[in-house]
Structure 1
Amino acid sequence: MSGAGGVEFFLEMQAAERAAAPNTLAAYQSDLESCAQSLLRVGQTLQTASADGLRDWLADLSAQGQSRRTVARRLSCIRQFYLFLLREGIRTDNPAEHLDSPQAEQSLPRFLSESEVLALLDACVAPPDASAAKKRRALVARAALELLYASGLRISELLVLPRQALAGEQRMLSVRGKGGRERLVPLSESARQAVQALVQVDRALNSPYLFPGREPTRAMTRQAFDRILHDVGLKAGLDPARLSPHVLRHSFATHLLAHGADLRALQMLLGHADIATTQIYTHVQTERLKQAVAQHHPLATSQSDLCDD
């Protein structure tokens, strides 16, 4: 197989069969190029690689200071690649089959308190004497933050929403997420009103997007949204370094669980393919259990005295 050891055909398969996003394909290509360069130093190629050659590559990544999460992600790509070569008959064995994944760091998601989210939303207001551009910017901020917090959308999902996403009296939002998977998420009335206010102001732009960029035929960029979030954070008295679209997504999930939401329902709302991804949010439930025991268990306040006895 030509095409740099099958890389080109592997990427084409990922795009065609798995609807991999452009960013995902670029990451896969980078991972495979990194592996190929490492193998070249020991006289191997991607098509002729041995298990030891791949282990040396993984060791190089760790020696370079790459995180265990990054190494695990890169290894996942390599495993998929060699399964592809095996399926296509390019190789009769799989050198990545018995490679050990690094133990991923267990990091808890960063999230805002409910009062901090409300402060952010309250900051999305322009003064009466503001220019039309600043008033529109406030509407954009309010609509975007309301949607992110009300639905748990990824920023990539938010920015490509069509202008008609909430036309009429719709109470559910259809979202196309990772891998082309579609899901429906319910919306709050305040989110719907914020979106409708923005659509009304933007009607003359005739953009296909709910959040158009400077050029109305294109969607707003991630960088442009980050600047809006930064400004709103300052106005709300929050450190912008703590803010990101994903922090709002984490806040959505954390607050739902804190108010008794079911983990399986949360998985569907977030669009996670595997519930194991959603289980990171159970730290909230664990903390609630600790607080419940501390506040209500009959021995909680006298435990130290019992230990002394």
Structure 2
Amino acid sequence: MEKINNVTEFIFLGLSQNPEVEEVCLVLFSFFYAVILLGNLTIMLTVCMGNLLKSPMYFFLNFLSFVDICYSSIIVPKMIVDLLAKNKTISYAGCMLQLFGVHFLGCTEIFILTVMAYDRYVAICKPLHYMTIMDQKTCSKMLLGTWIGGFIHSIIQVALVVQLPFCGPNEIDHYFCDVHPVLKLACTDTYIVGIFVTANSGTISLGSFAILLFSYVFILHWLRNHSAEGRRKALSSCISHIIVVILFFGHFIFIYTRPATTFPMDKMIAVFYTIGTPLLNPLIYTLRNAEVKNAMRKLWSKKLVSDDRR
């Protein structure tokens, strides 16, 4: 069947059609986006200038912050502009690009979190071989693999959507272009496409979560014969990562591992993993991680001393 595509733009329905609610959202999300940028840039600056890039954990944390900035920047600025606009429109090409970016960076973040869990497993369970296993070359290859994996995943998602015909309805019941809301507008049966979309996202989400779970099961098993002090020190380096994983994967799995259907609560859940997680990541890692806090203190102390000398 020949593809028919009469749709040149889509209209977002947004989080709410109530002007008063939109005004509150405008203030809140503008503030949250500023905190996301400030928090993640602070971590990147601390890691780079604090000479922490040689440590695999902070090497990956640096790029996690970078991905968080990019991920939120694909969604939040457009969302803020739409809260000010009467018509919340996006071109067809813009929608496909946003869909690609959301899945590319979201999947990359999943893989980075998985690699960080493996890093903690090696650091705790094989401490004598840690720097040999997780050398700079290996870390760089693993990081490259996260980007390639994210790219392949997003290309598949976009390829499944762009081959569909869109010939009439163009109102997306969401505040950004995502696969399930867009599939609802296609002028054909999307059951098979929906299965492939769910299988693609579900395999990555559940597979990565299983690896993360097994990593921490092994860590806990390894620590059971250690002293209480040893367990405390080891777990203190993992707890931040565990919190981030639970916050991110819980909502992500709920959205992307079920059949291609949408629920009214999906938009609110999406707010959490598109805005909440990039917002909380810097706070969690800085509040729970003594080394990051110490590096920040040293960095700002040096800055204050240099300013005083001027």
TM-score surpassing 0.5? no
RCO comparison, higher one (Cα < 8 Å, 6+): 2
Query: In proportion to residue count, which structure has more helix?
Result: 2
With structure 1 as the length reference, what TM-score do the two structures score? 0.21
